[in-house]
Structure 1
Amino acid sequence: MNTASTAPSNTDGEAARIRRAGADDAGALALVGAATFLETFAGILHGRDIVEHCRRQHAHAVYADWLGDASAALWLAETEQGAAPVGYAVLTPPKLPLPDLGEHDLELKRIYLLSRFHGGGVGRGLMRQAVAEARTRGARRLLLGVYAGNARALAFYARNGFEQVGERRFQVGGNTYGDAILALGLG
């Protein structure tokens, strides 16, 4: 879906719009990626690990590469006033340690949203975009990895029909953490 959509307001009454990200959006995606990772994991993960992870995984070049890859799809959520980036979603071919990984699987590599916008429909809007794109591409299953200690994210995914199908170890900086691998059947 290439059209922009408007998500309901957050609890502060500020609406956000969701649109397909383009080549010029790498900087905005990198900024909101690092900001949401820091906001989510400060006080949970070691600070040095967060900084190192963001330096590597939320670099401008990471998003520029995805934006230049025809097999990836990205969406950006922005405030309606001033178009400040507040969230995004990334859909890619899967790279998860599952024994039954197949050609009809896609991975929701990232779906991040600043906490100020939680509960207002923006996350659901990003999820809808990713699921619709996965179906358009003929995917039978949408997969994702999520930190096993992130109760809020796990609850969001459960509300959206995802179920746990595996686990993996995930490196953040100098430490390894446990992730749950979740799947949504697309029938």
Structure 2
Amino acid sequence: MTDSAPSSPLTRIRRAGADDVGALALAGAATFLETFAGVLAGDAIVEHCRVQHAPGVYAEWLADSGVAAWLVETADGAAPVGYALVAPPKLVLADLSETDLELKRIYLLSRFHGGGVGRELMQAAVTESHARGAGRLLLGVYAGNARALAFYARNGFRQVGERRFQVGGRLYDDAILALELHR
């Protein structure tokens, strides 16, 4: 995948930069709401989006040289419809290594599922992890999100731990998954 490569006739994926903070925040809140509305408590989702998908959160990430992000847009570049973000890990694992990286976020509006865009986003994250010499790519995922768990399994991830994840002041169970990267 190259920068601004068409990922489908409807979308393109490109590396996100500081000017994309608003688009990432919008895509983050929209995709989180779409994914979890009716699954997690509504007030918890709204609070989570207000805090965790605020533009300032993305601005801090993009200002960090250890973070890489990709934005999925409609083919005309007018609307953000998904994104992925890789960063140094902040997961509690007994065997966490300084060579590990974390796929902190990977989301895509459901209208764009099934066309290979998610796979391309994942490939961008894996390629970046290889380039940085990572031994593993880790992620946390809601343990009740069967669709996401199946996607990660198809991409070679295996469960290596569990954690409790807070959404809007409520705790939920997450699975911690890892993809072993062969150098």
Task: Classify the TM-score, shorter chain.
Answer: over 0.9
- Equivalent residue letter for 1:154: L
Q: Secondary structure at the match of 2:14?
A: strand
1:128 lines up with 2:123 in the alignment: yes
- Equivalent residue letter for 1:58: H
Q: Which runs of 4+ in 1 moved over 3 A?
A: none
Distance 1:107 1:164 in 2: 14
2:34 match: 39
Q: Quote the offset at 1:2 in angstroms.
A: 6.5
Q: Quote the offset at 1:175 in angstroms.
A: 1.2
Q: How does 1:78-117 map to 2 (within 5 A)?
A: 78-117=73-112
- Equivalent residue letter for 1:47: G
Distance 2:44 2:85 in 1: 22
Q: Secondary structure at the match of 2:114?
A: coil
Q: Quote the offset at 1:5 in angstroms.
A: 1.7
Deviations 1:41-78 (A, max 9, x none): 11111111001101110000000111111000000011
State the Cα RMSD in Å: 1.1
- Equivalent residue letter for 1:177: Y
Q: Quote the offset at 1:8 in angstroms.
A: 2.6
TM value normalised by structure 2: 0.97
Distance 2:24 2:129 in 1: 21
Instruction: Percent identity, please.
Output: 73
Query: Structure 2 regions of 5+ residues with no counterpart?
Result: none
Distance 2:27 2:56 in 1: 14
2:3 match: 3
- Equivalent residue letter for 2:4: A
2:57 match: 62
TM value normalised by structure 1: 0.95
1:76 lines up with 2:71 in the alignment: yes
- Equivalent residue letter for 1:151: A
1:157 lines up with 2:148 in the alignment: no
- Equivalent residue letter for 2:114: G
2:167 match: 172
Distance 1:99 1:149 in 2: 24
- Equivalent residue letter for 1:94: P
Equivalent residues, number: 182
Distance 1:93 1:186 in 2: 15
Query: Structure 1 regions of 5+ residues with no counterpart?
Result: 10-14
Q: Secondary structure at the match of 1:31?
A: helix
Distance 1:138 1:86 in 2: 29
- Equivalent residue letter for 2:173: G
Distance 2:25 2:48 in 1: 12
Distance 1:40 1:3 in 2: 27
Q: Secondary structure at the match of 1:180?
A: strand
Q: Secondary structure at the match of 1:75?
A: strand
Deviations 1:109-133 (A, max 9, x none): 0001000001011101110100000
- Equivalent residue letter for 2:5: S
